[in-house]
Structure 1
Amino acid sequence: MTLAPPTANPRKTTTVRQLGAVDIAALRAAVMAIPEAVWDAENARKPNKFEVLGTTRHIVFRFIESPLDWRGDFDCPAWPQWRGLLEPVLAQAVRAYGYAHGTFPRVMLARLPAGGVIHPHIDANPAAKWPHKIHVPLSTNPGVVSCFGGGEHLFPIGEAVEVNNLGPHWVHNGGATDRIHLILEYYDADQPEPDWLEPLLHVDRAR
């Protein structure tokens, strides 16, 4: 059986899309108070252990069950404790889309240390083709350079931005402080699913 290659959601940005300011004060204060031991423990059990992420540490709140399908997700152990702080920020970050039934399949904190590098890569799994990929910076410095959509950017604290995760992208923290972003994926549950999804899942189930 020959499958059509998964194509991107036409609603996703191909460069970067500014989504507006978000009130991150309460969340940022809580994140900056996270003990190093908690960062280490949460990072050790994260499901997204990819070499390209280098020394980036993560605290994962929600994640997908399969790299083929964004519609199946689960709450990680940290979610109940952080939900009250996260949900207002998530809602503000995605308000520009206007979806009546929007869903967050992946939500996490990503902490790139001073001098750290996220190597050039694309998010190649099929589950990355459909949701919007959104960053909300919580801590940064002028030495952080993020390359998305063919351009270099310094994303300001508290400004939500959708990035193109399907093209080559990388980050270098050339500053003296850590760069911490809230990273989320978001999609419209009412949007018709792509033609390629069910055949892909059918072949996977048949293996």
Structure 2
Amino acid sequence: MNPAKTTTVRPLGRVDIAALAAAVRAIPEAVWDAENAAKPNKFDALDATRHIVFRFINDPRDWRVSHDRPAWAAWRALLEPVLAQAVQPYGYARPVFPRVMLARMAPGGVIHPHIDANPAAKWPHKIHVPLATNPQVVSFFGGAAHHFPEGTAVEVNNLGPHWVRNLGATDRVHLIFEVFDLDQPGPTQ
């Protein structure tokens, strides 16, 4: 495990999400459906949460090798400023983003309790940036329930049990991504 990862929740600060959130609100349902059907992260714990995946790892055992998915080219200009601003507190000169996605949970939705168990999840920081939420979205990380406000970046402990419930009347949409420092020696170095 990366010793720089949080073991609970680490607030990273406010992020300017205005342009990205507006673009996300304009995504047609047919696009959400098509992207979700083709997503590489099909896990039972995610239940009916829909995803648009922009970048993804090539192998669940290695976070160091990833690829751009088709949507990345069209969204890159909107995503990169948010990614850079969210990880600024780390001070990484060469941050790498192996996984980048939108996660949309409908009212009444749930992500069941789970641990990100694949080896590729053990090193990168896992970051959430809420783009749309409501006060009744509850996220459980680091042994406690949390509500993450829109436009705040937060690192979460993905290696401990975690879950999410949307008990409100509106969608919860998060930009979720991983980051690691290319200059930080890895566990095998």
How far apart in 2 are the matches of 1:9 and 1:193? 8
Partner amino acid for 2:49? Answer: T
1:108-157 Cα shifts (integer Å, max 9, x gaps):
00001100010000000000000000000000001110000000000000
Give the alignment partner of residue 173 of structure 1, picking from 146, 155, 166: 166
Name 1:55's counterpart in structure 2.
Answer: 48
- In structure 1, the partner of 2:12 is 19
1:106 aligns with 99
Which of residues 151, 154, 158 is equivalent to 1:161?
A: 154
DSSP-derived class of the 2:116 partner:
coil
CA distance in 2 between partners of 1:155 and 1:193 (Å): 30
Q: Which runs of 4+ in 1 moved over 3 A?
A: none
Matching of residue 123 in structure 1 with residue 116 in structure 2: yes
Cα deviation for residue 193 of structure 1 reads 1.4
Deviation digits for residues 4-29 of structure 1, max 9, x if unmatched? xxxx1000000000000000000000
Q: Give the equivalent residue in structure 2 for 1:186.
A: 179
Q: Secondary structure at the match of 2:33?
A: helix
- 1:12-71 per-residue CA deviation (whole Å, 9 max, x = no partner) reads 000000000000000000000100000000000000000100010000000000000000
Question: If you compute each CA radius of gyration, which structure gives the higher value, 1 or 2?
Answer: 1
The within-5 A match list for 1:5-154 is 8-154=1-147
What is the identity percentage for the equivalent residue pairs of Structure 1 and Structure 2?
A: 75
Aligned to 1:170, what secondary structure does the other structure show?
Answer: strand
Query: Alignment RMSD, CA only?
Result: 0.7
Distance across 2 between alignment mates of 1:82 and 1:101? 21
Structure 2, gaps ≥5 residues long: none
TM-score, normalised with respect to structure 1? 0.90
Q: Which runs of 5+ in 1 are unaligned?
A: 1-7, 198-207
